Amino acid sequence: MIKTVGKFTTVHREDGKIVIASDMVYDHIGTHAKPGKGSVFSGNITPDMINAKLFSEAIPETGGGVPVDFGADNGYLLVAPIEVAMQFQDATIRPGSKEDFDPETKKMVPVPVAEVHTSQPITDFTADIATMLVFPYDPGRSAPEQNEFVENDKELRDAKEAGKLYALATAFPGGFSLEEVGGVPVPEDKQDSVPKATAWGGVENPTWAVIIPGSQTNPVMEDWNRLAGTVR
């Protein structure tokens, strides 16, 4: 059963787990709609599609990455370690941003990151799977409004006390670990997981980057941009 009350949706599973998701999370997942903020879904991934997977897919007791298959809508894997990204065709670095969760404000905030623009087509980055991140409910990582919603609902409150309440953190194309991106192998020490954007090294000393495929670069303008210090 799936219920929506105001800004919050709860998915009541047959195994007794309940997963709560907020409009803020659905809106964040919606940023994976076009290149520029990270990996992108190739179709229109809707809350209903996500909720159906939250109901049907196995969620580990400890939470974590839940692999899902949206078929043709799995999308494109557009994040990579910088040493991988710079191997793409006509790779150039530019400043960009990516959303990440701020535990202090309990909101999604923009984080400065590097973009690597490449002339390779987006189809080179096709993902064969997608991932939902689902974790046991933690009031310390939830917005006050959501905590109040949980505490005012006996079923949710009881599920939290019993360790059966979970929260959807996000969903994105690709797996929780990476072996290759755009045909380039990922080093073994970078395969386990994609770090939070706040740990990407920013724009000046990037360790990871957002990939912008299908970019047409002008060599003369790139030279001028390097002289101006806007790209490296």
**Hey, where are the domains in the chain?**
2-228
CA 113 to each of CA 82, 100, 102, 219: distance values in angstroms, whole numbers, following the listed order: 11, 11, 15, 23
Per-residue pLDDT of the chain (232 residues; tens, 9 = 90+): 999 999 999 999 999 999 999 999 998 887 656 666 678 887 678 899 999 999 999 999 999 999 999 887 788 999 999 999 999 999 999 999 988 877 787 777 889 999 999 999 999 998 888 999 999 999 998 989 999 999 999 999 999 999 999 999 989 888 877 899 999 999 998 888 888 889 999 999 999 999 999 986 544 444 434 444 544 4
Q: Do the strands 184-185 and 180-181 form a parallel or antiparallel pair, or are they unpaired?
A: antiparallel
pTM equals: 0.76
Could you write out the DSSP letters of every residue in 121-145?
-GGGGB-S-EEEEEEE--GGGS-HH
Other beta carbons within 10 Å of 84: 24
Do residues 150 and 156 touch, judged by C-beta distance below 8 A?
yes
